[in-house]
A and B are shown apart, each in its own frame.
Chain A
Amino acid sequence: MTLSKPTWEYAPAPESLKVDIAPEYGLYIDGAFRVPRSGRMFATINPATEEPLAQVAEADAADVNDAVMAARKALKGWRKLPPLERAKYLFRIARRIQERARELAVLETMDNGKPIRETRDEDVPLAAAHFFHHAGWCDKLRYALPTATGEDPQPVGVCGQVIPWNFPLLMAAWKIAPALACGNTVVLKPAETTPLTALRLAEILQEVELPRGVVNIVTGAGATGRELVHHADVDKVAFTGSTDVGRAIATAVAGTSKRLTLELGGKSPNIIFADAPIDQAVEGIVSAIWVNQGQVCCAGSRLLVEESVVDEVIDKLRHRMRSLRVGNPLDKNTDVGAINSRAQLERIEAHIRTATSEGATQHAVSDAALPSRGFWCRPCFFTGVQPAHTIAREEIFGPVLAVMTFRTPDEAVARANNTMYGLSAGIWTSRGSKAYEVARQIKAGVIWCNTFNQFDAAAPFGGYRESGFGREGGRAGLAAYLA
């Protein structure tokens, strides 16, 4: 008998829940869904199949104005509601998200392309936790941020919030929960490629009988976002997205009395010291850059490895990469799903071509077949990267890692800080004193020591430098929504 090398194939394990998706979704304004004034609709597709999922309304200036007016009208009653009553609405929202978690996870995966394992275990539970956490703040704001006069802190007013497509429901929760907890009202614009879970959240808001106009959701692309940001009756603008759009918003808001918080891009370092637990660090690299196909603002896209262990790290990384399963996001065994849109896939591919032409070496180990339709990018990493290379400087927003080396902790810190961004950083070492000193020296808002991409409603998140300003989560996050 000859022993052949065993190969084990995973049997497909698709998520079985079928989610009802309406053929058309209107704008959620003043507590009800309605058609856009222009009648214009656009399609949102499943990026894993390129099949259209639904037609969604495109809000124009008049629609945005309706939404802002509804939020303005609702503000008076909402801010005057006894704080514990406000809290009860937020608790209810959290509960309904938990109860409809599976449906939301499937819908998110279909609209976004990220693996069901992530939406089920991360996005949706974190979104529910964000409402639950902030519900409890409603009647405790005076202890969180005492005012000079000793009176209760006051809301800012009507908040215009624009969110990205990489964590659609979670970002909606990050924006809406603190705003409502502090007594503000909201007009939210989800990303044009991922509007469905925000619209499902609107249904939940109806179910919990949130007073009408307190949250309004207007769908559309960049033009809709611009109308919202420019609207004269918006008191506060909160934006999560690219640094370029953040710059445009900062310019638009200049000279007005609008408050502004920006959560922008990153090119975050992930530093592996020679004394790190290497196997754990390799797992950390995977969760830093290949989670959500690398479409994460705080992705650890620059790997800095101490020179003495670089061969070991790369060997293990190559080995680990072989077992990453790319494919159907609704399959529970999938590690890497679809890129969110064709435009994003083309941006990533252009970056890969630039990296190769600038002289870096690509390592894309996975040779498994990819589905014939949909937007797919195999995870990869590059060696031979110089600090001046485009791949070491510019945000890619894809599963592409740049590997560089260093010799001393000082050099590691200098390289880590050699960027205009400052959102996050990873530090891997088994020496606590070293971890905390390096954490102190790195100019970034979130530092993960011996872990990566952890989020929590109680932990402030946000950037230094050109990664934006303001925090989301925890006590520090409330400041953005109080006058």
Chain B
Amino acid sequence: MTDRAEITKTWKLFIGGAYPRSESGRVLPVHDVTGRAGVRAVAYAAQASRKDMRDAVEAARAAQDRWAAASGLLRGQILYRLAEMLDGRRAELVDAVRIGGRLGRGKARIEVERSLDRIVSFAGWCDKLESVMGGRNPVAGPFHCFSQVEPVGVVAVFAPDEHPLLGFLSLVLPALACGCSVVAVASASEPVPALIVSEAAPSSDIPAGVFNLLTGSHEELVPVAAAHRDIDAVVAAVPLELAKTLQVGVAENMKRVRLIDPGAAFLDENAWNDPRAFTGVTEIKTVWHPIGI
């Protein structure tokens, strides 16, 4: 027992490189269920509103063209830098992953290590994706015809509660690696691991607006994302009812929707470091040019 009162933190949103509170002023408590004294609120996180989502999409759109035009080598170095920055905060990440009570210390450590490794893996994808998924098309005519891989644009991500760090990164990293800008919504019940990532983002040189993080209710924010006409794709690990809301939103602007089982085995490296992770966040562009003298 110590007499010193803790400085409980209120985590803020991350939009356009800044850390605003929700314009709604709302916050939600973050609980630690692992303490001897029972469940305690150890921090607060902003509860994002429709307006916050719209602001984040605007920031993501503004940042999109430059991030898409950056070389794969540069994006890869920036993502690798993110792993470097987070590696120093491993202990904090392990605590953040533990407080929801899903994982003991040993499993929490594995979760964090696997998460950092996933960042490293996707850092390497940035300048290789096109070698694997694109290429010259052997057409039956005098044309140079090739297909290049491009980012779909602005991607909204809804992260699962299971694996609040690894699940979150597994959904966000493919989008960032291929050149999309991202508006991510952290696990509603365990947002802190994702919030720690958002604090490391600026010091990793991820340009402002390329990665934005909201915390709050998925029930509230999924319909906003589904109806938003300037979101090009949604990657979501959400329950069935919310998944349906997103699918209906396809009709709005033909946004691409990739649904992921919230209980997916995110620890499986074969499955999640795989190029199919780019489904829904990339477009194939086929370019033709005549050949002849």
Taking beta carbons and an 8 Å cutoff, which residues of A are in contact with B? 129, 145, 148-149, 243, 246-248, 250-251, 253-255, 262, 264, 420, 432, 435-436, 439-440, 443-451, 454, 456, 458-462, 464-469, 471, 474, 476, 479
Please report the C-alpha to C-alpha distance between residue A425 and residue B140 in the assembled complex, in whole angstroms: 21
- B98 beta carbon closer than 8 Å to chain A: no
- B288 beta carbon closer than 8 Å to chain A: yes
- B284 beta carbon closer than 8 Å to chain A: yes
Interface residues of B in 144-172 (CB under 8 A from A): 145, 147-148, 150, 152-153
A448: B residues at CB distance < 8 A = 288
Contact B251 A458 (CB under 8 A): no
- B270 beta carbon closer than 8 Å to chain A: yes
Please report the C-alpha to C-alpha distance between residue A297 and residue B76 in the assembled complex, in whole angstroms: 37
Question: Known contacts being A445-B284, A464-B283, A469-B254, is A435 close to B139, with CB within 8 Å?
Answer: no
Contact B288 A420 (CB under 8 A): no
Contact A456 B284 (CB under 8 A): no
A432, A451, A462, A467 — which one has the most chain B CB atoms within 10 A of its CB?
A451
Interface locus among B77-85, B86-94, B115-123, B242-250: B242-250
Could you show 25 A-B contacts with beta carbons less than 8 Å apart? A148-B268, A148-B271, A149-B270, A250-B254, A253-B247, A254-B244, A255-B244, A255-B248, A445-B283, A446-B285, A447-B287, A448-B288, A450-B290, A451-B288, A458-B138, A459-B139, A459-B145, A459-B286, A460-B284, A464-B152, A466-B253, A468-B254, A474-B137, A476-B133, A476-B147
Please report the C-alpha to C-alpha distance between residue A248 and residue B252 in the assembled complex, in whole angstroms: 10
Please report the C-alpha to C-alpha distance between residue A247 and residue B152 in the assembled complex, in whole angstroms: 19
A466: B residues at CB distance < 8 A = 253-254
Please report the C-alpha to C-alpha distance between residue A445 and residue B149 in the assembled complex, in whole angstroms: 10
B148: A residues at CB distance < 8 A = 440
Contact A250 B290 (CB under 8 A): no
A456: B residues at CB distance < 8 A = 137, 139-141, 145
Contact B256 A469 (CB under 8 A): yes
Contact A445 B285 (CB under 8 A): yes
B138: A residues at CB distance < 8 A = 458
A444: B residues at CB distance < 8 A = 285
Question: Known contacts being A435-B289, A445-B283, is A458 close to B137, with CB within 8 Å?
Answer: yes
B140: A residues at CB distance < 8 A = 129, 456, 458
Chain B contact-residue range equals: 35 or more
Bits for B257-293, please: 1 = Cβ < 8 Å to A, else 0. Answer: 0000000000010110010100100011111111000
Main secondary structure of the interface of A (DSSP, over half): mixed
Contact B284 A476 (CB under 8 A): yes
Residue in A253, A262, A461, A474 whose CB lies within 8 Å of B254: A262
Question: Known contacts being A250-B254, A447-B288, is A474 close to B147, with CB within 8 Å?
Answer: yes
Contact A461 B248 (CB under 8 A): no
Please report the C-alpha to C-alpha distance between residue A374 and residue B237 in the assembled complex, in whole angstroms: 54
- B190 beta carbon closer than 8 Å to chain A: no
Contact B247 A255 (CB under 8 A): yes
Question: Known contacts being A449-B288, A451-B290, A460-B284, is A248 close to B251, with CB within 8 Å?
Answer: yes
Residue in B133, B139, B274 whose CB lies within 8 Å of A458: B139
Contact A250 B270 (CB under 8 A): no
Which chain A residue lies CB-closest to B146? A459
Please report the C-alpha to C-alpha distance between residue A469 and residue B284 in the assembled complex, in whole angstroms: 10
Question: What distance in Å separates the Cβ of A248 from its nearest Cβ neighbour in chain B?
Answer: 7
Which chain B residue lies CB-closest to A444? B285
Question: Known contacts being A446-B285, A454-B288, is A465 close to B232, with CB within 8 Å?
Answer: yes
Question: Known contacts being A254-B244, A476-B284, is A450 close to B251, with CB within 8 Å?
Answer: no
Please report the C-alpha to C-alpha distance between residue A107 and residue B247 in the assembled complex, in whole angstroms: 40
A148: B residues at CB distance < 8 A = 268, 270-271, 274, 276
A443-B153, A447-B286, A474-B137 given; 11 more Cβ-contact pairs under 8 Å: A149-B270, A250-B251, A420-B253, A440-B69, A445-B286, A446-B286, A451-B143, A454-B288, A458-B138, A460-B137, A460-B286
Question: What distance in Å separates the Cβ of A299 from its nearest Cβ neighbour in chain B?
Answer: 16
Question: What distance in Å separates the Cβ of A211 from its nearest Cβ neighbour in chain B?
Answer: 29
Contact B143 A454 (CB under 8 A): yes
Please report the C-alpha to C-alpha distance between residue A451 and residue B153 in the assembled complex, in whole angstroms: 27
B250: A residues at CB distance < 8 A = 250-251, 254
Please report the C-alpha to C-alpha distance between residue A216 and residue B255 in the assembled complex, in whole angstroms: 31
B279: A residues at CB distance < 8 A = 479
Please report the C-alpha to C-alpha distance between residue A460 and residue B274 in the assembled complex, in whole angstroms: 21
Which chain A residue lies CB-closest to B153? A443
Please report the C-alpha to C-alpha distance between residue A247 and residue B244 in the assembled complex, in whole angstroms: 15
Contact B251 A247 (CB under 8 A): yes
Contact B284 A471 (CB under 8 A): yes
Please report the C-alpha to C-alpha distance between residue A165 and residue B244 in the assembled complex, in whole angstroms: 31
A454: B residues at CB distance < 8 A = 139, 141, 143, 145, 288
Question: What distance in Å separates the Cβ of A334 from its nearest Cβ neighbour in chain B?
Answer: 24
Please report the C-alpha to C-alpha distance between residue A243 and residue B248 in the assembled complex, in whole angstroms: 15
Please report the C-alpha to C-alpha distance between residue A244 and residue B117 in the assembled complex, in whole angstroms: 44
